[in-house]
Copies of this chain bind each other. A is one copy, B any other.
Amino acid sequence: MQQIKTYLDQIATISDLDWDFFYSKLQRRVIKKKAVFLKINEIENHISFIESGVVRLFIPKEDPEKEITFGFSFKNQFISAYDSFLTQKPSAYQLQALTETTILSITYADLQEVYQKTQIGNLIGRLTAERLFLIKSKREQNLLNLSAEERYLKLFKERPELLQVIPLKYISSYIGVTAQALSRIRKRI
Tell me if B134 and A132 are in contact (CB < 8 A).
Answer: no
Decide: B143 and A82 in contact? CB cutoff 8 A.
no
Q: Which residues of B contact A138 (CB under 8 A)?
A: 83
Contacting A122 at CB < 8 Å: which of B83, B86, B123, B143? B123
Q: Kindly state whether residue A70 has any CB partner on chain B within 8 Å.
A: yes
Q: How far is the CA of A133 from the CA of B134 in the complex (A)?
A: 8
Within A128-143, the residues touching B (CB, 8 Å) are 129-130, 132-134, 136-141, 143
Residues in chain B near residue A126, CB distance under 8 A: 115, 122, 125-126, 129
How many of these chains are in the complex?
Answer: 2
Q: A59 on the interface (CB 8 Å rule)?
A: yes
Interface membership of A68, Cβ < 8 A: yes
Q: Quick check: A143 and B145 within 8 Å, CB to CB?
A: no
- Within the complex, the shortest CB–CB distance from A182 to chain B, in Å, comes to 14
Query: Contacting A136 at CB < 8 Å: which of B68, B125, B133, B145?
Result: B133
Closest chain B residue to A61, Cβ basis? B145
Assess whether B132 is in contact with A59, with CB atoms less than 8 Å apart. Answer: no
Q: What 10 pairs between A and B have smallest CB-CB spacing? A: A129-B129, A136-B136, A122-B122, A126-B126, A125-B126, A133-B133, A129-B130, A122-B123, A83-B137, A143-B143
